[in-house]
Amino acid sequence: MAPTSLRLLRFSQTPTRRIILSQSRTALLPRTAVQFSRPASTTAAAAADASSLVTRLKNLLYGTSISLFAVFSYLYITDTRASVHQWLVVPTLRLVYPDAEDAHHAGTKALKALYSLNLHARERSSKKEDADLSVVVYGQKLQNPIGTSAGIDKLAEVPDALFALGPAIVEVGGTTPLPQDGNPKPRVFRLPSRNSMINRYGLNSKGADDMARTLRERVRAFAFRSGYGIGDDAEEFVLNGGAGVPPGSLTEGKMLLVQVAKNKDTKDDDIEAVKRDYVYCVERLAPYADILVVNVSSPNTPGLRTLQRVEPLTRILEGVVGAAKSARRKSPPKVMVKVSPDEDQDEQIEGIVEAIWKSGVDGVIVGNTTNRRDNILPRDLPLTPKEKEVLSEKGGLSGPHMFERTLGLVKRYRQLLDQGPPPEPTQPSETEEPAKPVAVGDKGDQLGSKIAEKLESTKEVVTSAVSAAVSGIKDSASGKPHEQKVIFATGGITNGKQALEILNAGASVAQVYTALVYGGSGTITKIKKEMREEIQKR
């Protein structure tokens, strides 16, 4: 082969080999890359999985912690034993709402909203209680002898939320036949250093028909939740005891009191018109009450307390009792009359007791706010200039200083009521000799004998308290048995020891108002705890 041909052959083979080598290198590179990338990819995936697991564990831990915190916070805040109710909620309300009435309305709205969300405070028991506080009132066994007074829930907006705080008695109202605004604002004032209040609301009310609608809706909602249906038939079923609970409280072992009063514009000297006011309220509210309370003792309605005289009070109470017995229910509500602590003269108390017996009323609530400004406790603590100004405001004063007066009145009413109905007046015969003048010495003997009779009567009450509650006690004048009248007491009760004193004096229930305002949602629970501790000491 010629030299030229050999050179051409070499030249043509060289690019070919280069192309083949370049292609083979290109084909081998990915294999080498794959072989070295496999360990790196596995490590990254493992690291990602580990990081994801740690993140999930952290999220689980955080979620569990938040859930547990929420649960324990819920259990704490919604427990009446939590100190936050007294030491945080109450001061905050007073700080945010300088006007006491505004604070009252805000508290009621908050309680209503929280109850609808099941976030309201309620009484819980951590163990079986050592002392049984149950009492029997009007043949019904109540869980305890503590109640709330009227004025806390004036429009019957939150009776169930109040029951949840622990009382066996809740009193709503008072309500008047027609709506009325009450007295001009401001009309509620605080005395913080005395834990006292002055109010002159003047029985502000939306009227009996509005309260009747509110209570009717409550009964129908209860019937629906309990599976009894909805409408008139379900309502009638519950009101007639078909649900096995009192028709007022809708809770076993508890009772709902509904307070009624007259309108401010109704003339006091027109007794028939006044009676119609009370009867109007009773006809509309009796179906939804366990007990009706006739308020003739508010100090903020001009002329109302004059109705506590024997004749007008008897006529009013007779009308109320008759209307209550006509309620569209199998078992009519009981009727009690609420009397003033300022009507404390012997003849005034005896007149009220006489009206109670004559009218057929079932009992009396002793106590209300007072117009008096004496004996403001504690005496050694001076009032601030602002409190001195507040103390000069017109209205009913309530607070701890009322306790001793309430206790004394309960004892006096208990003694007089247990003596039975007053004897019928007898007409002197024509042949009867005129009464002889009584010498000074004879008057002293008569006074001594009256005191002895009262002491003997008190002794009988103490020795026969149990049998009296079941079978009645004997009339001190005729010797005939009669039903024992029930006494509830309100005014100045702030702790368990005082509640026990009131009960031992002859009351069946001790009601609180101002103590709840200053003590917060845990007040009832605290009072009952103190009662149990006092009982255990004895």
DSSP string, 76-142: HHTBTT-THIIIIIHHHHHHH--SHHHHHHHHHHHHHHHHHTT-S-B---SS--SS---EEETTEEE
DSSP string, 321-373: HHHHHTSSSSSPPEEEEEE-TT--SHHHHHHHHHHHHHHT--EEEE---BS--
Report the pLDDT value the prediction gives residue 299, as an integer from 0 to 100.
78
- Tell me which residue of 103, 110, 198 sits closest to 157, measured CA to CA: 110
Lowest mean pLDDT among 55-64, 275-284, 360-369: 55-64
- Cα-Cα-Cα-Cα torsion 278, 279, 282, 283, nearest 10 degrees, comes to -150
Tens-digit pLDDT profile for residues 412-457: 999 999 999 987 765 544 444 444 433 333 333 333 333 333 333 3
Structure tokens that stand for 412 in this block: 């006096």
The residue-averaged pLDDT of 233-258 equals 97
The residue-averaged pLDDT of 232-245 equals 96
Contact 256, 170 (CB under 8 A): yes
Residue 22 backbone phi and psi in degrees, to 5: -65, -40
- 10 Å Cβ neighbour count for 46? 10
Give bridge partners of residue 291 from the DSSP assignment.
257, 334
Say whether pLDDT at 38 is over 60. Answer: no
Contact 496, 146 (CB under 8 A): no
Structure tokens that stand for 478 in this block: 């005729």
CA distance 396 to 175: 18
CA distance 153 to 163: 12
The residue-averaged pLDDT of 54-82 equals 89
Contact 251, 243 (CB under 8 A): no
User: 18 pLDDT band (50/70/90 cuts)?
Assistant: low
CA distance 59 to 67: 12
- 10 Å Cβ neighbour count for 455? 11
First-residue to last-residue Cα distance in the chain: 139
Structure tokens that stand for 320 in this block: 């109320």
**Total length of the chain:** 538
Residue 346 backbone phi and psi in degrees, to 5: -55, -45
Residue 370 backbone phi and psi in degrees, to 5: -120, 150
For the question of residue 298 being annotated catalytic, the response is yes
Catalytic residue among 196, 205, 297, 298: 298
CA distance 125 to 525: 10
Lowest mean pLDDT among 7-11, 161-165, 177-181, 486-490: 7-11
Say whether pLDDT at 37 is over 60. Answer: no
The residue among 488 and 482 whose pLDDT is bigger is 488
Report the pLDDT value the prediction gives residue 434, as an integer from 0 to 100.
43
Give bridge partners of residue 337 from the DSSP assignment.
294, 364
% the chain with pLDDT above 70: 80
Lowest mean pLDDT among 27-41, 155-169, 501-515: 27-41
The pTM of the full predicted model, rounded to 2 decimals, is 0.81
Report the pLDDT value the prediction gives residue 426, as an integer from 0 to 100.
59
Report the pLDDT value the prediction gives residue 297, as an integer from 0 to 100.
84
SS3 418: helix
The residue among 155 and 481 whose pLDDT is bigger is 155
User: 271 pLDDT band (50/70/90 cuts)?
Assistant: very high
The residue-averaged pLDDT of 486-513 equals 97
The residue-averaged pLDDT of 349-353 equals 94
The residue-averaged pLDDT of 337-357 equals 93
Say whether pLDDT at 154 is over 90. Answer: yes
Report the pLDDT value the prediction gives residue 375, as an integer from 0 to 100.
77
- Collect all residues with Cβ–Cβ distance below 8 Å to 511 and sequence separation of at least 6: 146, 147, 148, 149, 169, 171, 365, 488, 489, 490, 493
CA distance 231 to 81: 39
Mean pLDDT computed over every residue of the chain:
84
Helix axes 496-504, 523-537, angle to 10 degrees: 70
Report the pLDDT value the prediction gives residue 57, as an integer from 0 to 100.
86
% the chain with pLDDT above 90: 65
Contact 251, 229 (CB under 8 A): no
User: 39 pLDDT band (50/70/90 cuts)?
Assistant: low
What is the 8-class DSSP label of residue 155? T
Residue 487 backbone phi and psi in degrees, to 5: -120, 130
Residue 299 backbone phi and psi in degrees, to 5: -80, -5
- Cα-Cα-Cα-Cα torsion 142, 144, 146, 148, nearest 10 degrees, comes to -50
Report the pLDDT value the prediction gives residue 479, as an integer from 0 to 100.
55
Tell me the torsion sign for CA atoms 345, 336, 357, 510. Answer: negative
The residue-averaged pLDDT of 195-207 equals 95
